[in-house]
Structure 1
Amino acid sequence: MSSAEKQKLELKSVRDKFKISESDCGSARVQVAQLTTKIKHLATVLHKKDKHSRKGLQAMVQKRKKLLKYLRRTDWDSYCFCLSELGLRDSPDYKA
């Protein structure tokens, strides 16, 4: 099985675990889980001099950060569930 096929299976299992309803495939919870899976995969195969992939990785991290900020603001329970299941840390952006 190739790496792409493994990633597709992993994304499907993550989607099934984080979906709220049976037809849910695009809620913020699911998007955060899928982005985290993609980020972990890309971080393991990234080379030091691969600038273009690094830029894509940084864009995914920023998108995940925005989605987590949205979840924190609107649905605290989903936010806490995502943090605990994905092993992420809570880092609020306070501007003093």
Structure 2
Amino acid sequence: MSEKLFIGSSLLSKNQTGSLEFQIYYLTNRVLKLTDHLKLHSKDYSSQRGLWKILGKRKRLLTYLSRTNLTSYESLINKLSIRKLKIR
């Protein structure tokens, strides 16, 4: 696995492990690892299902963060370089 794809842990300190931002960071790191795995093993459907579950949880956390603290949401989106949520 290439290490340059994964996000460094210097974004958030170890004291914030329960915070919403750290949870989103951790889920994003897992998404990157799973997508790298699925590039090699394209028919691993159980990992694909796990990826979908992780993406759903990250999306729910991001919507909550966008509703409660918009500035923190925008800075986290920029740091992790992920797309903004679609507003319906």
TM-score in terms of structure 1 length? 0.75
Matched, 1:82 2:46: no
Give the aligned residue type for 1:37: N
Structure 2: 5+ residue runs without aligned partners? none
Count of matched residue positions in the alignment of Structure 1 and Structure 2 = 83
Aligned-partner Cα distance in 2 for 1:93–1:25? 28
Contact 2:63 2:85 in 1 (8 A): no
Matched, 1:44 2:36: yes
Larger Rg: 1
The alignment's C-alpha RMSD in Å is 2.0
Aligned-partner Cα distance in 2 for 1:68–1:85? 14
Q: Which one has more relative contact order, counting CA pairs under 8 Å at least 6 apart?
A: 2
Q: Percent identity?
A: 31
Structure 1: 5+ residue runs without aligned partners? none
